[in-house]
Structure 1
Amino acid sequence: MSMSCAEAEPQWPRRRKEANMAHYISSFISPLGMILIEILDGENNPVLTLTTEVMTGHVAVYHGDRIWRVKADPNWSLGDTALALFDLAHEADLPDDLRTLGLAALQNSLTKLCARLASATA
């Protein structure tokens, strides 16, 4: 029995302390294309956010008071949306350590979601 992406459970937010103990990662990815990756400081304040803005139809990267946005196509798959966020984070003027951490969190969350979807359809 096969399961569509719409029927699969979303990956619920999770927080974990990174090895350097300076940042936490909060992530949410749904098979429907919603993405929220936040890198939080030790006091749970966001220092980097990679997200989809459903109401405005954009993908965006937030760092401090700066925002980088690009218009999203409503026909994009989850992979297309993630790739747009990945490209946008590379173009944004971010500290290298935060960029690396944000992109690793995005990749890790997508890998876990894909594994869950694959096991649900097996």
Structure 2
Amino acid sequence: MIRMTQEAGIVHLLLAPPWTDGDEDAYRAALETVGERAGPYALVVEMRGHMHLSREGEVWQSLWAKRTRVQVSACCRAVGIVRDDPTERQRQSFARLWGLPVLATRDAEAAFAFVRAYLEREELPCP
């Protein structure tokens, strides 16, 4: 299941079982929406279980990250990653990729509080 909601400047992307045949397409569509988002926002990515991308999906995801890096880095204020077993390496990887404050945690409430704090700061507007 892939579900994306947007509320009060926070984009919440949930990836969780049960997995369906259309999940990879839904994931791509969600990432496209994130990459095109205008105005300041924060992102909480909640990954439960393990979603397997096809080789084509992995290549697409990598190209999407390269294509949207400038826009996402300019407009996204912080990222909260929620996983069953988060690691410091995952946090560092996301932080290096986007150049943003990142929290990796098991606790969705903590992730939302973390990104909300960055949204409330006075920041330069994004392009």
Q: TM-score, normalised by structure 2?
A: 0.32
Say which structure is richer in helix: 2
